[in-house]
Amino acid sequence: MKNFLICISFFFVLQTVSFSQNISPISFPDNKFLESIMQLSFKQLYDSANYYFDKRDSYTALIYYNLLINKTIKNNNLDQQKIIVEALNKISVAYFHLSDYRNSYNALIQALHLCEKYNYESYFSKIFTNMGNIYFRFKRFDKAIEFYSKALTFNQDSATIVVLYNNLGAAELEAGNIDSAFYFLKKSLKFSDLYEEFFLSDIWNNMASYYHKKRQYDSAYYFYQASLLVARNNSRYSREAQNLSDLGRLFFDLNQTDSALSYIYLANNVANEYNFPRFIAENHLTLSKIKEAQGKTKEALEYYKEYSQLMDTLLNVENFGEISQIQRMYEVGKTNKQIEQLNMEKQIKARTIFHQKIILFVLLFTTTILLIVVYQKRNLNKAYKTLFEKNIEIIDLQKSSDKYQNKKQKTALADDLQEELMDRISNIMEDTLVICDPTFTINKLATMLQSNHTYVSQVINTVFEKNFRSFLNGYRIKEAQRLFSEPNASKYTIEAVSLQVGFKSRSAFREAFKEITGVSPNYYFKKIQNRIND
């Protein structure tokens, strides 16, 4: 009976790692082997699981990890709970390598629940990173970027920062945000210097993709080859297959079909040897395009059918729907818990208020009339004192206002001098090189006018009815509008324009732009470009 239960237990474990026709079947262990594993301690199971995980034997690692997370934890041992979270995270990675994304995501949700329950914030970064990887694989790049950004807010590990910046660069690249992608990839490359070659293959592959998309083929070829060399030196077979596939597509774009076919066949050899069905699918798509370009329509169609079948197995809509459902259930459950917590807090607060009212009523009832009168009199005196102080403040403000008005009248400029100064100010403000200098101030303006701060400020306030900051922003925003209206304005980013017209931050530029024009710079830019293109 005992052996029967052990076999049933392992049957379900093994079922979870059986994925598709592209993954080799697992041989069922004999009873003695199963019994020996069941006798392992918590730590022995974890060490064994990690051993097979590091050897990239995902199947065996999953057997040990699944036994580990179902093992009874004595006395809610917090250290063991953390190990469970780490095990769930690695289970997710193992399933991800096997292209079983539903089970991968489910493990992450379980890990997330435990992290929230025991407040293990240090694990959030890894979990959100792996969630982003799954959405990236389904080409939901907006969701991938969202999770990578979440991971970055929790991260304290410099190694993970390299990975996250690289992942963000890859996601932005696939989403078509070329400038943002290059920004993140450069940051990733900068941090990677701390880790020698470890991350270079991944980063260089994305850099190659960046240049590939920009049709800078020489640079793309250089980075693909550099990434391939590092991948081979470090036995990164997945990245080796990726680079070979990418080189095949690069040569296809260069109309060098012989070289393209050579790299695709090499990529398929690696993908078949180490069981990477995703790369095999992508290679079939490239082969379909090559055969179509050669006029071999029948072969092209066969390759495309194989590509479609593989992709339907790996990334079908049903699998993604299940992942989305898991995420929705998690969010709904989290919301329900928050509502329960709020209701509980509300009930506690209501009971507390009720008890306080009873106590207050008793105190008020037992207080003598004399104390009530004294209390009211003291409050009345306090109110009179407050009113008196407010009146004094009003009087002082009126005096200050009178002094300011007198001073303003004394410093008033003659009309002819004011008009001359107004014209000179207007001339200088039309010089975009001057006003778009971030260090340009009213003192610099006064120096250029050979005048002083007070006179210049008075003319701007009186004639233009603005303070200097609003006055300057008006000219800068006018220059920004001009830049947005240029035919080749698509080469600019909002941040680049804000810096070019003198703003030190994008937020300050956006605020000023919206205050002056009534719309955001993004909205204005899109509308003006649509009008130009039409």
CATH of the domain at 519: 1.10.10.60
Query: Is residue 438 scored above 80 in pLDDT?
Result: yes
Same-domain status, 406 and 436: no
Boundary of a domain, candidates 362, 388, 410: 410
Same-domain status, 393 and 482: no
pLDDT given at position 251: 96
Query: Is residue 84 scored above 80 in pLDDT?
Result: yes
Task: Choose the weakest-confidence range: 29-43, 152-166, 505-519.
Answer: 29-43
pLDDT given at position 181: 93
Same-domain status, 457 and 493: yes
Instruction: Write the single-letter amino acid at 54.
Output: D
- Answer yes or no: is 233 within a domain: no
Question: What phi, psi does 56 have (nearest 5°)?
Answer: 65, 30
- Split at pLDDT 50, 70, 90, the class of 179 is very high
Boundary of a domain, candidates 78, 101, 119: 119
* CATH at residue 64: 1.25.40
Q: Which of 467, 495, 468, 500 is nearest to 482 (CA)?
A: 500
Over residues 255-295, the pLDDT tens digits come to 999 999 999 999 999 999 988 888 899 999 999 999 999 99
Over residues 85-138, the pLDDT tens digits come to 999 999 999 998 888 888 999 999 999 998 888 888 888 999 999 999 999 988
pLDDT given at position 34: 66
Rounded mean pLDDT of the chain?
Answer: 80
What are the residue ranges of helices labelled H in 315-368? 317-366
Boundary of a domain, candidates 360, 387, 410: 410
Mean pLDDT score, 377-396: 43
Number of structural domains in the chain: 3
Same-domain status, 434 and 519: yes
Over residues 345-371, the pLDDT tens digits come to 666 776 777 767 787 777 777 777 777
Same-domain status, 383 and 427: no
- Answer yes or no: is 176 within a domain: no
Higher pLDDT, 9 or 247: 247
Query: Is residue 342 scored above 90 in pLDDT?
Result: no
What sign has the CA pseudo-torsion 443, 447, 448, 453?
positive
Mean pLDDT score, 497-526: 88
How far apart CA 14 and CA 324 sit, in angstroms, is 25
pLDDT given at position 389: 39
Same-domain status, 396 and 480: no
Strands (E) across 278-420 are located at none
Same-domain status, 403 and 506: no
Same-domain status, 405 and 425: no
Instruction: Write the single-letter amino acid at 405.
Output: Q
Query: Is residue 505 scored above 80 in pLDDT?
Result: yes
Q: What are the Cα distances from residue 35, in Å, to 8, 9, 417, 505?
A: 12, 11, 101, 64
Same-domain status, 506 and 405: no
Mean pLDDT score, 286-314: 89
Range of the domain at 51: 1-119
- Answer yes or no: is 299 within a domain: no
Higher pLDDT, 312 or 423: 423
**Inter-residue contact 112 to 331 (CB < 8 Å):** no
Q: Is the pTM of this model over 0.85?
A: no
